[in-house]
Amino acid sequence: MSEVITIEKIESYLELTAKARAKVTPKTSSEEDEKRLKVMMRMCDDYVSDATHFASKGDLVSAFGAINYAHAWLDAAVRIGLMDGHGDDNLFTLP
């Protein structure tokens, strides 16, 4: 197991999160759920942006943290039922 954060690792996590973001679809049942989901997806997208920014500055530790937060927002939305992960237990922690 590697204890070193490399730009390649960051890039692979960015790709994984992009794949997950593209796969999920909304599963909201109310206007309130839609508002909550919009906030969660904005947080995901903002953290992806942060990760890219940190990586471009050479701050790989912050980039690693940010991309993991981004993916966690997606995972949480799937887990609580606001998004459908389409049965992909490699990308998401399914309910």
Report pLDDT digits (tens) over 13-59: 999 999 999 999 999 999 999 999 999 999 999 999 999 999 999 99
Q: What would the pLDDT profile of 62-83 be if each residue is shown by its tens digit? A: 999 999 999 999 999 999 999 9
| pLDDT number for residue 68 | 98
Do the beta carbons of residue 23 and residue 91 sit within 8 Å? yes
Is 71 domain-assigned? yes
Looking at residue 77, which CATH number applies to its domain?
1.20.1270.90
Q: Does residue 19 sit within a domain?
A: yes
In a domain, 2, yes or no: no
Q: Is 46 left (phi over 0), alpha (psi -120 to 50) or beta?
A: alpha
Q: What tokens does 77 get?
A: 């939305």
Query: Are the CB atoms for 62 and 5 separated by under 8 Å?
Result: no
Please tell me the total count of domains within the chain: 1
DSSP helix/strand/coil, 20: helix
Range of the domain at 56: 7-84
Is there a domain that residue 90 lies in?
no
Query: Is residue 18, in this structure, part of any structural domain at all?
Result: yes
